[in-house]
Amino acid sequence: MSTDTRRKHRIVVIGSGFGGLFGTQALRRRDDVEITLVARTAHHLFQPLLYQVATGILSEGEIAPSTREILAKQKNARVILGEVTEVDLEARTVTSQLLGTDTVTEYDSLLVAAGSGQSYFGNDDFATYAPGMKSIDDALELRGRIFGAFELAELARTEAEARRALTFVVVGAGPTGVEMAGQIAELARRTLKHDFRRIDPTQAHVILVDGADTVLPAFGERLGGAARERLQELGVDVRTSTMTVGVDETGVELRGPDGHTTRVEALTKMWAAGVQASPLGAQLAEQSGAGTDRAGRVKVRPDLTLPGHPEVFVVGDMISLDDLPGVAQVAIQGARYAAKEIGRRLDGEEPQGPFEYFDKGSMATVSRFSAVASVGRLRFHGFVAWLLWLGVHLVYIIGFKNRITTLLHWAVSFLGRGRAERAATQQQVFARRALDEVGRRITDEAGEKVRDAS
């Protein structure tokens, strides 16, 4: 301790997702660094299971452990809560804001892992009616809307109203969209089967829409076909080569492969179609001259640094490099690469050479007991892929206790038919602007007196 009185190397990490967290942890053994992790949420988010929070299987705590708690024993790291509003590459400072108060943190090395948000391809007004699936807020909002839709259907006064309440549109047939569509279908057909008296929840209409001509395009034709078949067995109405051209309070406008636009009345819509890199990306690109691609991702150098700024690494969903996919492994491997590079520099070693992504494979669940997985040249689907999915996700869920409760909740949902986490806040039920407007419209339109059917 007394042998080293030099100032420690200050590292700021932006983001508590896979990149930020794994990057910080990769530096845990270095006592010559001082890490400040700045994030806008106090939790790490295990995003691959977010759809299970949205559909009542897991609690938010199970996939969102406290970042501070995860890092409690890593003495060289501290965590501060705040939204990063500015990175000044010249001054080497990061400004973050919490409840109106700015905090400025200086760095010697910077690791930016701020991730991405939903992209509505320029139609930002869609967001009100079709929330994305990027945060705990999104998942809880969707959970309230999905379970709430069945409640509204039970109270509907006309067939058309009930049908509208029981129609769910999922835009985007990537893993998240496929998982959501599959889960809503199972919810309707299994979980809620006996819960209602007037409506038949199994009649819910789940529509999965994508502009591409296949489901799960990244998984190739064979697995995409298998996923589509399984979804159709579950009753999901899969509409590929179909563009979502309008989203409003009460429905969507879809333009099919024949060029015709049809309107679908649907109370509940969700958006899993596109991503847009954190706006920090554009800020970094502008200051460094790096440039961005259409999704706002920064064109980094092969070693993940900004041009002219070897001290700034950008990883994960925010970068445009070699067509890397927006998956957890890209963020984790990138962050570990950056952490290692920072360590080598401090040790006076040579650079490791350009970042190389090792594709460990990818997988998506379609329904219980059924998934698709692509590992190297191998392609699995069905039960074997599902077991693989189960194992991998259990390993990556952080914390022993979360593994146990998650396993239990999975047993409840997959072996039984319950959903343990269905509670909605009143705020969600009564203050939802979009649905509220629908309610008012329904009231205004319906001039007749309500007659109870009993």
CB 73 within 8 A of CB 276: no
Is 186 assigned a catalytic role? no
CA angle 161, 164, 170 (to 5 degrees): 165
447 binds its own copies (CB under 8 A): no
| Cβ-based nearer residue to its own copies, 393 or 419 | 419
| Residue 6 engages its own copies in binding (rule: CB under 8 A) | no
Give the Å distances, CA to CA, from 1 to 8, 136, 162: 12, 42, 70
- Pairing assessment for the beta strands 243-247 and 309-314 based on DSSP bridges: unpaired
Helices 400-410 and 383-396 sit at what angle, rounded to 10 degrees? 150
Q: Does 422 bind its own copies (CB under 8 A)?
A: yes
Nearer to its own copies by Cβ, of 154 and 229: the residue is 154
Figure out which of the listed residues 19, 20, 56, 224 binds its own copies, where binding follows CB under 8 A. Answer: 56
The closest alpha carbon to 18, from 297, 326, 301, belongs to: 326
Least separation, in Å, of the C-beta of 203 and its own copies?
Answer: 17
Q: Is 124 in the site for its own copies (CB under 8 A)?
A: no
Asked whether 418 and 427 are in contact (CB, 8 A), the reply is no
Q: Report the residue count for the chain.
A: 454
Candidate list 259, 426, 447, 448; residue touching its own copies; CB under 8 A: 426
Does residue 80 touch its own copies according to CB under 8 A?
A: yes
Could you tell me which stretch among 13-21, 173-181, 290-298, 397-405 binds its own copies (CB under 8 A)? 397-405
Residues 270, 208: Cα–Cα separation, whole Å: 10
Instruction: Give me the least distance between CB of 68 and its own copies, in Å please.
Output: 4
Which DSSP letter does residue 414 get? Answer: I
Instruction: Select which of 34, 62, 141, 179 is catalytic.
Output: 179
Q: Which of 9, 68, 228, 297 binds its own copies (CB under 8 A)?
A: 68
| Cβ 369 to its own copies shortest distance, Å | 19
Q: Does 356 bind its own copies (CB under 8 A)?
A: no
Residues within window 128-157 making contact with its own copies, judged by CB under 8 A: 135-137, 140, 147-148, 151-152, 154-155, 157
Residue 401 binds to its own copies (criterion: CB under 8 A): yes
Q: How far is Cα 141 from Cα 91, in angstroms, rounded to an integer? A: 40
Backbone φ, ψ for residue 116 (5° rounding):
-140, 160
Using alpha carbons, list the distances in angstroms from residue 117 to 37, 163, 180, 339, 423. Answer: 20, 31, 18, 24, 26
Q: Give the residue with the Cβ less far from its own copies, 358 or 400.
A: 400
Q: Which of residues 16-35 bind its own copies (CB under 8 A)?
A: 34
Mask: binding to its own copies, 174-213, rule CB under 8 A, as x and -? --------------------xxxxx---------------
* Residue 279 lies near its own copies (rule: CB under 8 A): no
Start-to-end CA distance of the chain, whole Å, equals: 79
Does 40 interact with its own copies (rule: CB under 8 A)? Answer: yes
Q: How far is the CB of 44 from its own copies (least distance, A)?
A: 10
List the one residue from 28, 61, 340, 388 that touches its own copies (CB under 8 A): 61
- Helix H segments across 234-325? 280-288
Q: Which of 271, 55, 244 is nearest to 150 (CA)?
A: 55
Does position 420 interact with its own copies (CB under 8 A)? The reply is yes
Residue type, 32: D
Of the candidates 37, 47, 29, 48, the residue with the CA atom closest to the CA atom of residue 112: 37
Catalytic site positions: 179
